[in-house]
Homo-oligomer: A and B are copies of this chain.
Amino acid sequence: MSIIVDKTKKRVAILKAAMVVFSRDGYHRARIEEVAKEAGIGKGTVYEYFRSKTDLFLDLHEHMVSELKGFYLKELAEVREPDLLLERFIKVAFETFRLWEPFFLIFFDFWSQGGRGEHQELFQTRLKQAYSLSREEVATIISAGVTAGSFRPVDPLLTSSRILACLDGLVVQWLCDRQAFDLDRMRDELTTSVLRSLRP
């Protein structure tokens, strides 16, 4: 019993260490020994918990996506009105820019892995799933708005893809150059433009 708890805790500790090292050095440059050091354990121990570097990376992605999802669910739980929901969604997204910054920094490495290599199918599948999931989540909001008449009749999935794309692109620009724009002003500008584009 206590063994199981320890195992899980240590697993998460390694994942956190991996997050730090991967985001600092990038997936390829990062060394497993460094992850172990960050977690305060020996290199061999990492392999007690993860089959390989690839596996660790894959699990890290899964872990972070699940945490992100939890954050969204919590923050959006009590909103009902489609337009408020959308506004809130964008607000939360911008908060994640800061809170999950290391995760987004890794994301490109993850993406890059998805395109090639022996494990590419695994990576690709996970990536598609993650996208597809969030796409449908937002599409549901838009659908509800269209049905309720507060949005004009747009294709929910298409619009959803567009909004998500915008958020993705913005985090990229921002991570690349924090001076590019002010996060708060951009959030307002995006919210306004999205709602305007959906006005009946």
Q: How close is A70's CB to chain B, nearest CB, in angstroms?
A: 23
The answer to whether B197 and A115 have CB atoms under 8 Å apart is no
Q: How many copies does the complex hold?
A: 2
Chain B CB within 8 A of A95 CB: no
Chain B CB within 8 A of A181 CB: yes
Chain B CB within 8 A of A74 CB: no
Name the interface residues of A118-172: CB closer than 8 Å to any CB of B.
124, 127-128, 131-132, 135, 154-155, 157-159, 161-162, 164-170, 172
CA distance A27 to B162 in the complex (A): 29
The answer to whether A158 and B185 have CB atoms under 8 Å apart is yes
CA distance A185 to B114 in the complex (A): 26
A 156-194 binary contact with B (CB < 8 Å = 1; else 0): 011101101111111011011100110001100110111
The answer to whether B161 and A180 have CB atoms under 8 Å apart is yes
How many positions in chain A have a CB within 8 Å of any CB in the partner chain? Answer: 53
The answer to whether B189 and A162 have CB atoms under 8 Å apart is yes
Most buried by B among A29, A131, A155, A172: A172
Instruction: Please pick, from B27, B157, B165, B193, the residue contacting A159 in the complex, using a CB distance under 8 A.
Output: B193
Chain B CB within 8 A of A9 CB: no
Beyond A26-B112, A132-B180, 12 extra complex contacts between A and B, CB < 8 Å: A26-B116, A28-B28, A105-B115, A108-B109, A108-B111, A131-B177, A131-B180, A158-B181, A158-B189, A159-B189, A165-B173, A169-B169
Sample 30 A-B pairs with CB under 8 A, ordered by A number. A25-B116, A26-B112, A26-B117, A27-B112, A28-B28, A105-B115, A108-B108, A108-B111, A111-B172, A115-B175, A124-B176, A127-B177, A128-B176, A128-B177, A131-B176, A131-B177, A131-B180, A135-B180, A158-B189, A159-B193, A164-B173, A165-B165, A165-B167, A168-B172, A168-B173, A169-B169, A192-B197, A193-B193, A194-B197, A197-B197
